[in-house]
Amino acid sequence: MPIIRFEEADTANLTAVGEGITRPARAAGRLRTGTPVGKYAVYHGDGCAVCQTEISAGDSFYIDSETGDLLCEAHGRQRRSD
Whether 41 contacts 14, CB under 8 Å: yes
> Which residue number, 33 or 56, has a Cβ lying nearer to Zn ion?
56
In the complex, the smallest distance separating the C-beta of residue 51 from Zn ion, rounded to whole angstroms, is 3
Taking CB under 5 A as the criterion, which residues in 39-78 touch Zn ion? 48, 50-51, 53, 72, 75
Sign of the CA dihedral with 18 first, then 59, 49, and 80 last? positive
In the complex, the smallest distance separating the C-beta of residue 53 from Zn ion, rounded to whole angstroms, is 5
Which amino acid type is present at position 80? R
First to last CA, the chain: 14
> Which residue number, 40 or 71, has a Cβ lying nearer to Zn ion?
71
Query: What element of type H or E holds 6?
Result: strand 3-6
> Which residue number, 11 or 53, has a Cβ lying nearer to Zn ion?
53
In the complex, the smallest distance separating the C-beta of residue 33 from Zn ion, rounded to whole angstroms, is 27
Whether 31 contacts 22, CB under 8 Å: yes
Interacting residues with Zn ion (CB under 5 A):
48, 50-51, 53, 72, 75
